[in-house]
Amino acid sequence: MPVLFDKTFPGGCNTLPEGFWSAIDVWIKKPHVVNKRLCGVTETESKDVDREDLRFMLNNPVSDTLGDVFSFLANGVSPTHEEDKPWSSTVRTFIPKVNCYGKVLHKDVIVKDFGRQQVTFLPIEDDAEGQVSLKRGNVYQIRLCGSECDKWALELHVLDPDAWFSDGVVYPRLPWLSSDLLPKLVRWATECKHSEFRSTLSLLPVEKYSLVYQQLKDKYKAMVKVWPEVTDPEKFVYEDVAIATYLLVLWAEERAQKSLSSRQSFVDLGCGNGLLVHILTNEGHPGKGIDVRRRKIWDMYGPQTLLEEKAITPSESFLFPGTDWLIGNHSDELTPWIPVIAARRVISRHNLTQQLKSSYSCCYFVLPCCFFDFYGKYQRRHCKKSQYKEYIDFVSEVSEESGFSTEEDCLRIPSTKRVCLVGKSRNYQLSDEAKAEKRRALYIESRLANSTCGVTVQGSDIINDVTDSDRTSGRQWGAGFRPRDRVETIRNCASLPRDFIDGVVLEVANVLLRMTEDDFTDWNRGGSLSLSEVAGLLHQENLQLLKKECGGLQTLLKNNHQVFRVEGGRVHIRDWRDSKSIRADAKRKPVAPGALKTRPCWFHTHHPQGCPLQAEHCAFAHGPTDLRQSTRPLKKMKCDPF
């Protein structure tokens, strides 16, 4: 069989051949990471098969009709596969993001031949009556060729290229396999990385998730057009739709497992914009959201969406004994407290038995983002882990110490922080509640004892003079915790004195320009420095002032994007003739004749050679005569545009 496409590995690939099978497993189990029109697949358990088994799986008992398929399977440069030796096979069922196939199921029978280092994909269609048909024209094979590190290559073979059929979803275009899939497989096989976290949606049936997500997306996508907040509506609407989908499917599975007739109730702690609460309420789950700060969008939801503006302090007042689930979606300083609040018993003599049972059945869901401990910022302890992984492990530890059997999953959301923790059951019996409560109290006490004095939570100093009896008593077990301020403090370098900002910009720019002042032919673009090298240029008192701002030095440099380009942790002088600068400032409209220019051009004033652009092409003013005062009222800005 001729090679249709091939892709050579770079030299020195010491991850092969093991890396090849690791990469193939990604394509088998997670095709949606490459084919964005798929939501995922469901996969049957792998098993060994022979020719007769394959005939049965392909619903084709006549041996002659599958002769070319078996010949295709027998191809390979290292024919160590014995005639009677079984293949390893699995079957995957595709789940498109949008179901355009009705009741017809599209599957792949995947045959692995470890002796020949090849894997063959046999696509089949399974209709509503259970009739299976082989898509013979779309049978393809991926083969690893070579035996030396500098001669490895991937080859793509197709049974009948002229009969290849593409629908753009389950059956991609044949050139796509070469241009997109093969390079990805080469990279995955070369890197051969193992994720620190679980696979995406590992706790849910993916087909149910896909169906519910499409329904919710169609139902709530109009929110993007009326979003009143300053945050990105595309990100926040679709992210909350995805989180709501996850919870709705998770809760539906729980109702089926426990034979529950009523829908679960919930409280979203630190609910923010409240959209997640709005969706869950609309879908029939009674609940409410609480946040320290009211948002503009709250008024749009209507009275059926219950949202409270209130500061939450871990104490007896915030235990919610009648609630089925507590939710922490990017709940920041509340994140480590949520498993504790969900697990903790109500200290009251009234209906104590009923309250214990209610607390014992309470579950939680958290999606950690910012890194907080019980009483301040989380302090790293393990340098061998990523900071994110270490924090997820910390929250999981809190959950286990609180008495939960903790499960971890990875959401499908447009965010880098998408690992969630779920506590659905306890790791102790209800009769052992007293022992479990003592363990929680001792654990929280140990975290406070090990916390760093003077740590700040959202600008408020922690109270360090709380007595031992206060910390372990029922009403004061959250003493020392300070919720964030009701009014958000903006710390993005915009509040720094303008003279200070201008001085830092000029100092850094001059150093970059001096690096290449004797080595340029056209216009001096300067050299580049790492952020740590730039920090070394500044006085210690200036650095301390910057550290009080979120992002610090990097934020200041990025705010002054007219002058600097920060990429890959390095700082460069921006050249506005460069396509990178144009793309980075794509939102800025082209300069029209007579355009209003309300800010001076830094390069015209400070660069030894002036601005690389002519005045009519520059968006900033070249001198006082080019500077015009705006007659429009100034908008309230969250950050300096430069």
Ordered mean pLDDT values, 10 residues apiece, the chain (642 residues): 68 78 92 92 87 84 74 68 72 91 92 92 90 92 77 89 93 92 90 75 92 94 87 88 97 95 95 96 96 92 94 83 92 93 67 60 94 88 85 96 95 90 94 90 83 42 39 53 64 73 92 83 88 88 74 82 90 85 50 70 93 90 80 42 26
CATH node for 206-346+355-451:
3.40.50.150
Go through 59-78 and write b for each residue having 16 or more CB atoms within 10 A of its CB, e for each that does not.
Answer: ebeeeeebeebeebbeebee
Paired tokens of 614: 């002519």
Nearest alpha-carbon partner for 136 in 45, 60, 197: 60
H/E stretch holding 67 reads helix 67-73
User: How far apart, in whole angstroms, are the C-alpha atoms of residue 372 and residue 456?
Assistant: 11
Which pLDDT does position 16 carry in this prediction?
Answer: 82
Asked, as a colleague might, if the bond just before 17 is cis with ω within 30 of 0, I would say: yes
Give the residue among 5, 41, 19 at the shortest CA–CA distance from 140.
5
Task: Sketch the domain layout of the chain as residue ranges.
Answer: 5-191, 206-346+355-451, 490-516+523-573, 589-636
Contact status, residue 265 vs residue 324, Cβ threshold 8 Å: yes
Closest CA to 241 of 204, 212, 273, 199: 212
State how beta strands 528-530 and 570-573 pair.
Answer: antiparallel
CB 571 within 8 A of CB 511: no
Q: What is the CA radius of gyration of the chain?
A: 30
pLDDT reported for residue 452: 46
Report pLDDT for 84.
55
Report d(CA 572, CA 553) in Å as an integer. Answer: 14
The confidence score (pLDDT) of residue 495 equals: 67
Start-to-end CA span in the chain (Å): 60
DSSP 372: B
Local structure of 642: helix, strand or coil: coil
CA dihedral 244, 250, 253, 254 (to 10 degrees): -110
For the beta carbon of residue 169, count every other beta carbon within 10 angstroms.
Answer: 17
Task: Give DSSP secondary structure letters for 484-537.
Answer: PPSSPPP-SSTTS-HHHHHHHHHHHHHHHHHTTTTS-SSS----EEEHHHHHTT
* DSSP H or E stretch at residue 409: strand 404-410
The predicted pLDDT at position 349 comes to 46
Q: Which of 154, 149, 144, 136 is nearest to 118 (CA)?
A: 144
Correct CATH for 5-191 of 2.40.128, 1.10.3470, 3.30.56, 3.30.530: 3.30.530
> ∠ CA(530), CA(534), CA(537), 5° rounding?
150
| Spatial distance between the Cα atoms of 216 and 238, rounded to a whole number of angstroms | 9
Helix (H, G, I), strand (E, B) or coil at 97: coil
